[in-house]
Amino acid sequence: MGRIVGIDLGTTNAVVAVLEAGRPLVVANAEGSRTTPSVVGYTKDSELLVGQLARRQLVLNPRNTFANLKRFVGRVWDELEDSSLAVPYTVRANAEGNVRIPCPVTEREYAPEELVASIIRKLVDDAATYLGEPVDAAVVTVPAYFNDSQRQATRDAGRLAGINVERILNEPTAAALAYGFDRTSARRVLVFDLGGGTFDVSLMRIANGVFDVKATSGDTQLGGNDFDQRIVDWLAEAFKRENSIDLRRDRQALQRLTEAAEKAKQELSGVQSTPLSLPFIATGPDGPLHIETTLDRSTFEGLCPDLLDRLMTPVQSALRDSGWSAEDVDDVVLVGGSTRMPMVQQLLRTLIPRDPCQSVNPDEVVAVGAAIQAGILTGELRDLMLNDVTPLSLGLETVGGLMKVLIPRNSPIPVRQSDVFSTSQANQASVDIHVWQGERQLAADNKSLGRFRLSGIPPAPRGVPQVQVAFDIDANGLLQVSATDRTTGRKQSVNIQGGSNLNEEEIKALLAEAEAKADEDRRRRASIDRRNSALTLVAQAERRLRDAALELGPYGAERQQRAVEMAMRDVQDLLEQNDLQELELGVASLQEALFGLNRRLSSERRTDASPLQGIRNTLGSLKDELFSDEDWDDDPWESPSRLSDSRPNMRRRDMNSWDDDFYR
């Protein structure tokens, strides 16, 4: 049985955490960082890159590198806002109206869930490497205001990554778990979660290990990226006025602007102004064009008043739904890197008269809470209990296009609610059950989650048949709907997946394709790892040869140095020939030669650490190489005549042997 981990699947960065000896611990990735950029890319050779490696090619390869994917998960094309489409890569709709992301280098289109699955897979692999055992399951966090379609799509991404998603956990709830993990006193907490692409706010009461969520609200199309975009637009408009060139139409220029904007936003959290320098950003009639300007904090804040207004509304809505006043809140917990902006913290102080809690890391607290939830599921943590709520109202469409709410928003989950409906026409043999999610009165103004038909209703006058419709929401916030004809007992049920980018058949097809190509993928990965290891070993050999030359002189360990040089040339030749089978033997030979050289270096260091040892070794090797024992007397410098007497012996030395020694 493998381990279960907690994953914070953020828009900008992702984090994985585990429970070790009853304590949550953030796991560093293979590159040594505690956060992994939520970026997926493909090189020109169609090699998959995830995380920091993919982020590095954002500017040079923008069409094949994909970031901000979370905003597309579980959404159809018509639901996307223009700000979500301001990305350097291409986003389009397929025939069914679902979001698809084409990748030119691989010549195929990807659903957002497929690309997100690659991020989950990397996090799981890094955790498995750290733990030294396989990871089979995970608790994955999502924004509290994610609807059912987005939650289903997140679970689909986990399936495509090859793991079981044991629980879908709201991000503010996870943050509260981390915050209240060691606290025993009763507290009323507001969690303000402003990430890269989404915004959530939750109110909950924490007492004696019980986490009781009272209300939640948010905006899944608002995040730190929107603040970055304001700086991008400010720079691009100024450049356009001066040079009549719109940099946002150039993919590489747009990515450079985006990175510079993100960096400027971060720096303005600590200083009043920051320089922006983008040399060679474009080319004009007179040559290259540059951006050299300064952005101060007041100008930046003046670009974002409407975004701050959008932050206020969910906070006020959550307070209203919970029945609490602002003075009832004991602590404010900030989650997400974007909460470091001074204007956001100042706005929050005007709404809640409390200084934010600084005892948690905004970048890691959600993953820590997910790991705690994993411990609750496995039974490792027994003194904690979580009571969550559903973020949006759920209901079905009735006559006239109205929405009949069965489960109001902020209802504690898991929950089951049912109601009885009837036919609208005489002798109606079937009814359509159309499920909606949202807060508007008219069904068409809300989010459609799916529909199904209950057939076989006996003929009867209008209003006589009784059809009981039941909504079930599990602990993950996922919905199941069933309809039963009370007269015949005929029943129809469905797991709602209406808005997911991938249906069950597509998921199964992708899983089958991954399984069919698993061996090929493993071989390809093994060959890449083998080449990378060989290149690393060659670089190490070059360094060791330089060290040996400095410490022992050019001839101090000639036999070992020559063996390393020959083995290194063999490995380089095999790399050029791409002969992977022989490469493994060549690498083994190079490792053996390096071992011999290292052993010689170690022995010399033990015998003499003098700085003149390299010169002495060189002279000693020359003595051994040029003269035999009988030619070199104990005191050759006794007299000039003795020296001249020895010279014929030098001339009589076998020159073929000399050549063999130096050029073999």
Tokens of 418: 């049912």
- C-alpha distance from residue 633 to each of 364, 623, 649 (Å): 74, 11, 12
**Is residue 122 annotated as part of the catalytic site, yes or no?**
no
Picking from 212, 203, 219, the residue whose alpha carbon sits closest to that of residue 143 is 219
Sequence-distant (≥ 6) Cβ neighbours of residue 173 within 8 angstroms: 144, 191, 202, 204, 211, 213, 369, 386, 388
**Is residue 8 annotated as part of the catalytic site, yes or no?**
yes
Q: Do residues 74 and 500 lie in contact, with contact meaning Cβ atoms separated by under 8 Å?
A: yes
Tokens of 121: 């897979």
Q: How far apart are CA 488 and CA 486, in angstroms?
A: 6
Burial of 350 (0-12, 13-18, 19+ CB in 10 A): exposed
Say how many C-beta atoms besides its own lie within 10 A of residue 222's C-beta.
Answer: 23
Q: Do residues 4 and 166 lie in contact, with contact meaning Cβ atoms separated by under 8 Å?
A: yes
Three-class SS of residue 651? helix
Determine which one of 126, 166, 193, 551 is catalytic.
Answer: 193
**Is residue 447 annotated as part of the catalytic site, yes or no?**
no
- C-alpha distance from residue 422 to each of 433, 446, 450, 486 (Å): 11, 23, 20, 11
**Is residue 582 annotated as part of the catalytic site, yes or no?**
no
What does the DSSP assignment read for 198-248? -EEEEEEEEETTEEEEEEEEEETT-SHHHHHHHHHHHHHHHHHHHHS--GG
Determine which one of 70, 122, 214, 265 is catalytic.
Answer: 70
Give me the torsion for CA of 20, 2, 133, 386, rounded to 10°: -20
Please name the amino acid found at residue 486. Answer: R
Please name the amino acid found at residue 350. Answer: T
φ/ψ (deg, to 5) at 36: -115, 120
Q: Do residues 90 and 62 lie in contact, with contact meaning Cβ atoms separated by under 8 Å?
A: no
Tokens of 478: 């996922």
Return the DSSP state at 120: H
Q: How far apart are CA 438 and CA 403, in angstroms?
A: 9
φ/ψ (deg, to 5) at 139: -100, 120
Determine which one of 114, 148, 156, 171 is catalytic.
Answer: 171
Please name the amino acid found at residue 504. Answer: E
Q: Do residues 418 and 466 lie in contact, with contact meaning Cβ atoms separated by under 8 Å?
A: no
Tokens of 600: 């010689």
Q: Are strands 13-20 and 164-170 parallel, antiparallel or unpaired?
A: unpaired
Alpha helices in 517-579 (DSSP H): 518-552, 558-577
Residues with catalytic function: 8, 70, 171, 193
